[in-house]
Amino acid sequence: MRQRIHIYINYAIYRKFSSLCRFLGLKVGDVLEKYMKDFIEKHKDQAPLDFYLQEAKEIKILNITQNNYNYLILASIAKLDPQKWLDDLSDLNPNTMTPKETEFWKNKLPELILEANRVLEEIKLTGQGEEYAETIQDLIAKASELLQKILAKKSRRELIHA
């Protein structure tokens, strides 16, 4: 079943494309449909790299297979950057935090722990990037310890009304 769709593309490119299709005696819709089918078939098993490379300026389309999981694991580790987080967390002291900082870390640390756990699971499942596993485990332990201290810390308001 065919259906009319609306897409936004560069008009000059579309005009050249449609002119060439008419010149060759082809219907624009048939050619586009074939290109879309070919694209789907070629990339249906591809992992979403933008999930792993958040700050990439230009993401090239790659056909990722099981043999290339090492790249995905390394991209996940690079996105997480466990050593940088460990350095940042080692400077934190829950007792000297402002209420705003406390609230920020209450929200950020659980996200960080979940992301680190996800990356650690990927490392364990694929067997790739094992040299980073210990650093990630240290990050999880440090973040969990800090989160427990922050959650145990009473706010001024709680102390006054207690």
Q: Which pLDDT tens digit goes with each residue over 52-107?
A: 554 444 434 444 444 455 666 666 777 778 888 888 888 888 888 888 988 888 88
Residue 85 within any structural domain of the chain = yes
Residue 6 is assigned to a structural domain of this protein: no
Total domain count, the chain: 2
Residue of 134, 129, 5, 13 lying closest to 75 (CA atoms): 129
Per the domain annotation, does 74 fall within a domain? yes
72 with 140, same domain? yes
**What pLDDT, on the 0 to 100 scale, is given for residue 160?**
61
| pLDDT tens digits, one per residue of 15-47 | 988 888 888 888 998 888 888 888 888 767 665
**What is the pLDDT averaged over residues 133-158?**
83
Do 29 and 94 lie in one domain? The reply is no
The verdict on 37 and 112 lying in the same domain is: no
pLDDT at 67: 44
Side chain identity at 154, as an amino acid letter? K
In a domain, 3, yes or no: no
Q: Is residue 138 very low, low, confident or very high in pLDDT (cuts 50, 70, 90)? A: very high
pTM recorded for the entire structure: 0.53
Residue 93, domain extent: 64-161
